[in-house]
Structure 1
Amino acid sequence: MTGPVVVVTGGTRGIGQGLVRAFTEAGASVAFCGRSDASVQGAGAPGGALGVVADVTNRNDVRKLWDAVADRFGRVDIWVNNAGLSTSRRKLWELDPAEIDAVVDVNLRGTLQASAVVLEAMLAQGHGALWNMEGLGSNGQIVAGLTPYGATKRGLTYATKAMAKELAGTPVTVGLLSPGMVVTDLLTRDYSPEELEQARKIFNILADRVETVTPWLAAKVLAGVKNGGRVAWLTNRKAAYRFATAAFRRRDLFAGT
C-alpha cells in the first residue's frame, strides 16, 4: 500500500459513492460507511474498498469505523464527513418533528460527534486531514422549504472554521469541501412535475453530474489545502459565466432519466 488511506462517510450513494470510486481510481485505499448492511452491500463499491456499517451520530460507531480502517490499512490519512440528509421540501411547521430531528442529528450533531472522534485519533497518530461537506445554506443563501437543511449546513461551516482555530499549530488540518449543485435524489426530491420542469432550467445551467464533480473534488482533497481551507467546485465566477453563456450552451443533465 503506497497511496493515502481515505474514509468517506455516507459513501453508499450520490456524492459519497462517487467519491469512493474517484479516490480508488486515484490510487487511494478507501473505506466508507452506511447505516445498514443492505446499503453497504448494495453500494457497488470498487474492489478493495472497505465497507463498514456505522451511524455517524454514534461515537462508538465512529470509533468502530476508525478501528476497522486502521486494522485493514494501518492508518487514516484523510476523513471526509459526507453523510447527510435533507427534509422534505416543505415549510418548517409542515414537517414531521422526527424528520427535523433526523436532519439535525446527521448533518450537524453527527458531523460534530464524528469530528471529535476523528480529530482526537488523528492527533494521537500525528497526522491527518478532516474534510466537512458544505451544502445549500453554507454561504448564507436562504431557500424556502429547506430551513432545517440550510441551518445545519450554515452551522457546519462555522463549526469547521472553529475546529481550524483549535487545530492551529498541530499536524492535523480541517477543511471545507463544496460540491456545488449536483444531480442526486436530494436535489430533485419533492418537486411536482410542473415545478421540476421549471427547476430543471436552473439545474441544467448550474448543476453537474456526480461523475463530473467527484473526480475533481477527490484530486483537490488528495492535493490538500492549508488548515481551514476550502475547495469549491461551483464558484461565483463559474456560476456567472454559466448564466452568461447559457443561451449558447445546451445542456440536458436529465437525458435518459
Structure 2
Amino acid sequence: MVRRLEGKVAIITGGGSGFGAGIAAKFTQEGTKVIITDLSQDNGTKIAQSLGCDFLRADVTKREDWEAVLEHAIDTFGRLDIVVNNAGATYSNKPTETVKDDEFDMCFHVNVRSLYLSSSVLLPYFLENDRPGCFIQIASTAGLRPRPGLTWYNASKAAVSNATKTMAVEYAPNKIRFNAVCPVVGSTGMTHLFLGKPDTEENRKAWVSTIPMGRGSTPKDVANACCYLASEEAEFITGVNLEVDGGRCV
C-alpha cells in the first residue's frame, strides 16, 4: 500500500505530547521522516524513541532554535517539505481584567511569534530552492467562535488564522501552501487551563454539551486532518481554516 506522505520530511513543533505527538505518529505511519521539537527533553525523547523519529529540544520563540532545526533537516535528510506549527500556550480561564502581563506575553510569543519565526527562517529555503512547501498551523475554534474568559488566547489564535490566510495568498504563486486546523478543546495537558478548573469528566460536561457530536477533539482527529492537508490530495487547498470540532462552529 502506498503511504500518503512517503519520502516527505516534516518538522512538528510541540511534538512531545498531545496533538503534536498524535500528528507525529500519523505522519510517521504515512512514510514521513519526522523531526519533532519540544521544550521538554524528556517528553520529546520519549515520543521520538517510540516512533523512530528525530527530536531536537527547541524553543519556538527563538530564531536560533528554528535555524538549528532547519539545519538538522537539511544535513540529515537533504530536504524539508512540511512544517506543522503545533506548539501552543494558554493561561487559566479567568476574567479578562485579571490577566497578567506575563500571561498575555506567553500567548502571543508562543502562538504568534513562533509563526513569524517559522516563516522568516524557513520560507527562504523553499523560495531559494524553488521548492513547493506546506505549512500547517494548529489554530483553534477559539479564534473563530470566541467565548468569555480567554480573551488573549482567543485573540492569538485569531491572529494565527489571519496570518495563515495572508501567507496563503502571498505565496500561492510559489506553490507554498498555508492552512490551519482548528480543533475544539480536547483532553490534553492544557485542558484544565481552558476549563479554568481540573480536567474531570464532570467539569467537561458543560463544554461537551456545546459540541453537536458530543465530544472534544482527539490527537487522532487533528492528525488525520493534518495528514490530508499535507498530502498531494490537498495540492489545491490553501488558506483554509479546517474546523475539526464535531460541529462546534456551525
Q: Which residue, out of 213, 219, 239, partners 1:229?
A: 239
| Contact 1:10–1:84 (CA under 8 A) maintained in structure 2 | yes
**SS of equivalent residue, structure 2 residue 50:** coil
Instruction: Look up the match of 2:93.
Output: 89
Tell me the equivalent position of 2:207.
199
Counterpart CA distance in 2 for 1:137 and 1:197 is 18
Instruction: Trace 1:101-112 onto structure 2 (pairs within 5 A).
Output: 101-112=105-116
- Asked whether the equivalents of residues 21 and 46 of structure 1 are also in contact (C-alpha less than 8 Å), the reply is no
Task: Give the Cα separation in 2 of the matches to 1:222 and 1:2.
Answer: 9
- Structure 2, unpaired ranges of 5+: none
Aligned partners of 1:11 and 1:33 also within 8 Å: yes
- What residue number does 1:214 align with? 223
**Per-residue deviation, 1:89:** 0.7
Which contiguous aligned blocks of 4+ residues in structure 1 show a shift greater than 6 angstroms?
none
Distance between the aligned counterparts of 2:93 and 2:70, measured in 1? 34
Q: Give the direction of change, closer, same or farther, for the CA distance of 1:66–1:148 in structure 2 (3 Å limit).
A: same
CA deviations on 1:159-179 (whole Å, 9 max, x unpaired) are 111112221321322222233
In structure 2, relative to structure 1, the CA distance for the partners of 1:44 and 1:167 (3 Å cut) is: closer
Cα 1:227/1:212, change in 2 over 3 Å: closer
Q: 1:169 aligned to 2:173?
A: yes
Measure the CA separation in 1 of the matches of 2:203 and 2:22.
Answer: 27
Does 1:40 pair with 2:44?
A: yes
Q: Deviations over 1:123-152 (max 9, x none)?
A: 12222111122213332x121111111000
| Paired residue type of 1:219 | Y
Contact 2:141 / 2:243 at 8 angstroms: preserved in 1? no
Counterparts of 1:131-170 in structure 2, within 5 Å, are: 131-139=136-144, 141-170=145-174
Q: 1:185 aligns with which of 189, 196, 214?
A: 189
Task: Look up the match of 1:252.
Answer: none
Letter in 2 for 1:229: G
> Match for 1:124 among 121, 128, 141?
128
CA distance in 2, matches of 1:46, 1:70: 23
Q: Which residue among 60, 79, 82 is the counterpart of 1:56? A: 60
Whole-Å Cα distance in 2 between the matches of residues 104 and 84 of structure 1?
9
Distance, in Å, in 1 between the alignment partners of 2:47 and 2:149 is: 29
Q: CA deviation at 1:231?
A: 5.9
The DSSP-based 3-state class of the residue aligned with 2:174 is coil
SS for the counterpart of 1:131 is strand
Distance 1:210 1:175 in 2: 18
Identity in percent: 25
With over 3 angstroms needed to count, the CA separation of the structure-2 counterparts of 1:222 and 1:22, relative to structure 1, is same
Partners of 1:177 and 1:231 within 8 A in 2: yes
Which protein shows a greater Rg?
1
Relative to the length of structure 1, the TM-score reads 0.82
Q: Give SS of 1:57's match.
A: coil
SS of the aligned residue for 1:215 comes to helix
Alpha-carbon offset, residue 100 of structure 1: 1.6
SS in 2 for 1:55: coil
Q: TM-score, normalised by structure 2?
A: 0.84
Higher relative contact order structure (alpha carbons within 8 Å, sequence separation ≥ 6): 2
Aligned-pair Cα RMSD in Å: 2.7
Pairwise CA distance, 1:201:
3.9
Out of 70, 73, 78, which is 2:74 matched to? Answer: 70
- The superposition leaves residues 217-254 of structure 1 with CA deviations (integer Å, 9 ceiling, x where unpaired) of 3234223343633262536xx527xx9xxxxxxxxxxx
